[in-house]
């Protein structure tokens, strides 16, 4: 319906005609250039799969990309989910999966290969035709061209207007190819809707979950639960894309151009533009709940060897096997990426029969239960009932997320809230019960925040000494009114570590880093990835400060924890191993 409205309204149809002719012009340009496109350009091919870990024990015979240690379950309340079939140990690789399809986030288009998402090095190559898309190697360029870019290349005027998720839905159809889509729709009697069957959705009759198009088609849409406004907007987008893109990509009689020999029934079945539009709409509805952010850990705020690690979104992809996992706010696994390959590792031991859950984003170590529950319900339409959400630990958690003041009577945590224009502080220790106006303390914290801003600015301008003075003043203020492991206090320690390192005082830097590392351990837990990155930072400072024995202890913990989260081949693990070797040689030299 949306499609026919678009076509009939003169204003809309003008826009659509304009876009169509822009695209046609681009595609004619493409024909001129396509002969220049030399697949045998003399460049090195980047091999796929280098540096990838291996699945724990063995490949699963039925779950594609999974280890034999896992199995699939399906109940009405949980939907499909993964559980442990055998004993799983911390660090075991449970899933190793390339995306069914993925799209680079536009802001990374000049820094990352648009096909494999690796960082671009010096010998960047662009698409020979549009010159807009960048690749790391010939193999990426060829592969991208073959799978989707030969269509997308001239669709650029349309793609520029699309949300990332709509682009991903379109690319999903392009990489699947007309034949797959036609066979799929045909096998469902011409209806692109989900068929209900007794089997686990997405599995073949003999229980195989192959990660192919039918698995992708079976990912949840939550159509009944999505807000009407979202559904209307999906429908309009789908109609618009169908009108502009599919005629261009597949021609007006899409399936007739394909060869047929009459032996297969589906070859006489023609896929209409409407069929394709329905498939697109179906996939667009899946996107909010099934997109995986492809991330990389990057160093930020680097100063003389001290940095913070941050997860950055590089691309968005569809990973049908990883999508089988349900959510928990205190997950059992960590998901990381090597290029575009998704790696799922257990972060603790899991007993046979126990569910394997990962975190969709709202994590108990970063958000209060209230915030998590509301985010999950809004995007994924369920009320989380994970162990973190059921436990009473949450009250305690909140003190960490909000500013935690010191009670002058008993030193416990005071929580401050605005009441009738006053900052009312209440001691959380039930036996103490101290209540008072904390406006003075709140002002101290505000002033300290200003000082912190000034200090960071002077550090960035290379004025280390000035920075150190300001930070010390800031620290004094915060320490007077805030708890020892409050996050503002931890942030000051972290900055003091960076500042001291920039001045060459690694011992003092290590002292402060130790404090912020302990805060991170308390906040995120002693097995967390956040703590692992802090240990790496601390090890570096202890190493530079020649605090050998302490450095060796921290290096051991860092190696163990980083290996659990990222595997033994992770660059940071190798760096720590080298540090350990150097230190051991140094100690041998001394005795
Ligand atoms: Zn590449
Ligand atoms: Zn191109
Ligand atoms: Zn939860
Ligand atoms: Zn108190």
Which ligand has its closest atom nearest to the C-alpha of 27?
2
Is-contact 405 413, C-beta < 8 A?
A: yes
The contacts of residue 47 (CB under 8 Å, 6+ apart) are none
* Distance from the alpha carbon of residue 444 to the mean position of ligand 4, in angstroms: 19
User: How far is it, in rounded angstroms, from Cα 510 to Cα 501?
Assistant: 8
The 10s digit of each residue's pLDDT in 39-48 is 434 333 344 5
- Interval 91-107 mean pLDDT: 95
Which tokens hold the place of 489? 């206090």
Which ligand has its closest atom nearest to the C-alpha of 362?
3
* Distance from the alpha carbon of residue 369 to the mean position of ligand 3, in angstroms: 7
* Distance from the alpha carbon of residue 122 to the mean position of ligand 2, in angstroms: 20
User: How far is it, in rounded angstroms, from Cα 284 to Cα 238?
Assistant: 8
> Which residue matches tokens 């920075």?
467
User: How far is it, in rounded angstroms, from Cα 482 to Cα 407?
Assistant: 9
Which ligand has its closest atom nearest to the C-alpha of 407?
4
User: How far is it, in rounded angstroms, from Cα 274 to Cα 182?
Assistant: 12
Which ligand has its closest atom nearest to the C-alpha of 409?
4
User: How far is it, in rounded angstroms, from Cα 313 to Cα 291?
Assistant: 12
DSSP element (H, E) containing 126: strand 125-126
* Distance from the alpha carbon of residue 114 to the mean position of ligand 1, in angstroms: 7
User: How far is it, in rounded angstroms, from Cα 475 to Cα 490?
Assistant: 10
* Distance from the alpha carbon of residue 563 to the mean position of ligand 3, in angstroms: 26
* Distance from the alpha carbon of residue 347 to the mean position of ligand 1, in angstroms: 30
Backbone angles phi, psi at 163, to 5 degrees: -65, 155
Backbone angles phi, psi at 110, to 5 degrees: -95, -10
Q: Select from 391, 325, 384 the least CA-distant residue to 355.
A: 325
Is-contact 538 512, C-beta < 8 A?
A: no
Pairing type for strands 93-97 and 292-303 reads unpaired
Which ligand has its closest atom nearest to the C-alpha of 118?
1
Please state the domain extents for the chain: 2-36+100-290, 47-99+319-374, 392-437, 439-590
Give the CA radius of gyration of the chain.
28
Angle between helices 369-380 and 273-290 (to 10 degrees): 170
Which ligand has its closest atom nearest to the C-alpha of 427?
4
Q: Where are the beta strands (DSSP E) in 290-444?
A: 292-303, 306-318, 333-338, 341-346, 355-356, 405-406, 413-419, 422-427, 435-437
Pairing type for strands 405-406 and 93-97 reads unpaired
Which ligand has its closest atom nearest to the C-alpha of 137?
1
Judged by average pLDDT, the poorest of 12-21, 94-103, 324-333, 507-516 is 12-21
The 10s digit of each residue's pLDDT in 570-581 is 889 999 999 999
* Distance from the alpha carbon of residue 367 to the mean position of ligand 2, in angstroms: 42
DSSP element (H, E) containing 371: helix 369-380
* Distance from the alpha carbon of residue 433 to the mean position of ligand 4, in angstroms: 6
Is-contact 319 292, C-beta < 8 A?
A: yes
Which ligand has its closest atom nearest to the C-alpha of 430?
4
Q: What is the dihedral of CA 257, 261, 266, 269, to 10 degrees?
A: 40
* Distance from the alpha carbon of residue 248 to the mean position of ligand 2, in angstroms: 15
The three-class DSSP label of residue 293 is strand
* Distance from the alpha carbon of residue 430 to the mean position of ligand 2, in angstroms: 66
The three-class DSSP label of residue 194 is coil
Say if residue 16's pLDDT is above 90.
no
* Distance from the alpha carbon of residue 127 to the mean position of ligand 2, in angstroms: 5
The contacts of residue 454 (CB under 8 Å, 6+ apart) are 470
User: How far is it, in rounded angstroms, from Cα 105 to Cα 116?
Assistant: 12
* Distance from the alpha carbon of residue 284 to the mean position of ligand 2, in angstroms: 24
Which ligand has its closest atom nearest to the C-alpha of 133?
2
Q: Select from 349, 382, 62, 327 the least CA-distant residue to 204.
A: 62
The 10s digit of each residue's pLDDT in 198-236 is 567 788 877 889 888 989 998 988 888 888 888 998 998
CATH number of 47-99+319-374, picked from 3.30.420.40, 3.90.850.10, 2.170.270.10, 1.20.210.10: 2.170.270.10
**pLDDT value, residue 72:** 92
- Interval 422-448 mean pLDDT: 91
CATH number of 439-590, picked from 1.10.3720.10, 3.30.565.10, 2.60.40.1220, 1.25.40.10: 1.25.40.10
* Distance from the alpha carbon of residue 405 to the mean position of ligand 4, in angstroms: 10
**pLDDT value, residue 303:** 64
**pLDDT value, residue 356:** 96
**pLDDT value, residue 390:** 86
Which tokens hold the place of 421? 């224009």
The 10s digit of each residue's pLDDT in 234-288 is 998 899 898 888 877 776 544 444 443 444 445 567 788 888 899 999 999 999 9
Tell me whether the CATH fold assigned to 47-99+319-374 matches the one assigned to 439-590. no
* Distance from the alpha carbon of residue 425 to the mean position of ligand 4, in angstroms: 10
**For 560-581, b where at least 16 C-beta lie within 10 A, e where not — what string?**
bbbbbbbbeebebbebbeebbe
Tell me which of 357 and 43 has the higher pLDDT: 357
Is-contact 93 338, C-beta < 8 A?
A: no
Which ligand has its closest atom nearest to the C-alpha of 148?
2
**pLDDT value, residue 195:** 42
Q: Select from 350, 179, 343, 352 the least CA-distant residue to 257.
A: 179
Which ligand has its closest atom nearest to the C-alpha of 154?
2
Which ligand has its closest atom nearest to the C-alpha of 138?
1
**pLDDT value, residue 165:** 93
Which ligand has its closest atom nearest to the C-alpha of 413?
4
* Distance from the alpha carbon of residue 247 to the mean position of ligand 3, in angstroms: 45
**pLDDT value, residue 393:** 60
Which ligand has its closest atom nearest to the C-alpha of 433?
4
Is-contact 321 500, C-beta < 8 A?
A: no
* Distance from the alpha carbon of residue 426 to the mean position of ligand 4, in angstroms: 8
The 10s digit of each residue's pLDDT in 170-201 is 999 999 988 899 888 888 765 444 444 456 77
User: How far is it, in rounded angstroms, from Cα 319 to Cα 315?
Assistant: 12
User: How far is it, in rounded angstroms, from Cα 591 to Cα 575?
Assistant: 25
Query: Which residues crowd ion ligand 3, with CB under 5 Å?
Result: 329, 384, 386, 389
**pLDDT value, residue 396:** 52
SS3 annotation, 65-76: CEECCEEEEEEC
102: confidence class by pLDDT, cuts 50, 70, 90: very high
Which ligand has its closest atom nearest to the C-alpha of 44?
1
Which ligand has its closest atom nearest to the C-alpha of 125?
1
Largest CA distance in the chain: 88
* Distance from the alpha carbon of residue 142 to the mean position of ligand 1, in angstroms: 10
* Distance from the alpha carbon of residue 27 to the mean position of ligand 1, in angstroms: 24
DSSP element (H, E) containing 211: none
Percent above pLDDT 70 for the chain: 86
DSSP element (H, E) containing 125: strand 125-126
* Distance from the alpha carbon of residue 434 to the mean position of ligand 4, in angstroms: 5
- Interval 519-526 mean pLDDT: 85
Query: Which residues crowd ion ligand 1, with CB under 5 Å?
Result: 113, 115-116, 136, 140
User: How far is it, in rounded angstroms, from Cα 43 to Cα 272?
Assistant: 41
């Amino acid at each position: 319906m949306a499609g026919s409205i678009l076509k009939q309204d003169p204003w809309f149809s003008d826009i659509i005609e304009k876009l169509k002719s822009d695209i046609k012009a681009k595609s004619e340009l493409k024909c001129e250039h396509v002969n220049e496109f030399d697949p045998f350009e003399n460049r090195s091919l980047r091999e796929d799969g280098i540096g990838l870990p291996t699945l724990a024990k063995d490949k699963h015979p039925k779950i594609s990309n999974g280890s034999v240690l896992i199995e699939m379950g399906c109940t009405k309340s949980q939907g499909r989910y993964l559980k442990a079939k055998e004993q799983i140990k911390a660090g075991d690789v449970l899933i190793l999966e390339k995306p069914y399809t993925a799209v680079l986030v536009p802001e990374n288009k000049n820094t990352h290969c648009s096909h494999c998402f690796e960082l671009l090095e010096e010998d960047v190559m662009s698409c020979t035709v549009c010159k807009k898309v960048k690749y790391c190697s010939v193999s990426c360029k060829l592969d991208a061209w073959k799978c989707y870019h030969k269509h997308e290349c001239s669709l650029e005027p349309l793609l520029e207007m699309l949300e990332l998720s709509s682009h991903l839905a379109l690319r999903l159809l392009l990489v699947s190819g007309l034949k797959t889509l036609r066979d799929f729709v045909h096998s469902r009697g011409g209806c692109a809707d989900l068929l209900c069957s007794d089997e686990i959705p997405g599995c073949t009759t003999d229980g195989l979950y192959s990660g192919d198009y039918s698995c992708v088609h079976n990912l949840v849409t939550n159509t009944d639960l999505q807000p009407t406004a979202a559904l209307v907007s999906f429908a309009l987008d789908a109609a618009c894309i169908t009108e502009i893109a599919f005629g261009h990509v597949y021609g007006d009689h899409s399936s007739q151009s394909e060869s047929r020999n009459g032996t297969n029934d589906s070859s006489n079945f023609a896929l209409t533009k409407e069929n394709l539009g329905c498939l697109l709409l179906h996939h667009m509805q899946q996107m909010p709940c099934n997109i995986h952010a492809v991330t990389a850990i990057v160093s930020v705020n680097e100063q003389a060897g001290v940095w913070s690690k941050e997860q950055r979104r590089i691309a968005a992809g569809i990973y049908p096997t990883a999508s089988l996992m349900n959510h928990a706010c205190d997950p059992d696994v960590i998901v990381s990426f090597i290029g575009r390959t998704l790696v799922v590792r257990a972060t603790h031991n899991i007993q046979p029969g126990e569910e394997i859950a990962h975190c969709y984003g709202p994590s108990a170590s970063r958000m209060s239960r209230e915030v998590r529950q509301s985010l999950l319900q809004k995007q994924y339409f369920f009320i989380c009932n994970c162990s973190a959400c059921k436990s009473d630990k949450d009250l305690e958690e909140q003190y960490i997320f909000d500013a935690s003041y010191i009670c002058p009577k008993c030193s416990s945590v005071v929580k401050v809230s605005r009441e009738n224009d006053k900052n009312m502080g209440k001691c959380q220790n039930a036996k103490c019960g101290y209540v008072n106006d904390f406006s003075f303390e709140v002002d101290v914290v505000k002033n300290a925040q200003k000082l912190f801003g000034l200090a960071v600015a002077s550090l960035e301008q290379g004025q280390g000494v000035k920075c150190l003075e300001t930070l010390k003043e800031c620290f004094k203020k915060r320490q007077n009114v805030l708890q020892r492991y409050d996050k503002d206090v931890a942030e000051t320690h972290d900055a003091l570590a960076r500042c001291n390192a920039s001045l060459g005082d690694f011992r003092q830097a290590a002292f402060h880093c130790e404090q912020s590392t302990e805060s991170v351990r308390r906040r995120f837990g002693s097995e967390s990835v956040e703590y692992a990155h802090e240990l790496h930072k601390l090890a570096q400072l202890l190493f530079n400060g020649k605090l050998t024995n302490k450095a060796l202890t921290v290096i051991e913990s860092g190696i163990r924890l980083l290996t659990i989260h990222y595997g033994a081949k992770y660059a940071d693990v190798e760096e720590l191993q080298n540090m350990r070797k150097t230190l051991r040689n140094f100690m041998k030299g001394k005795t």
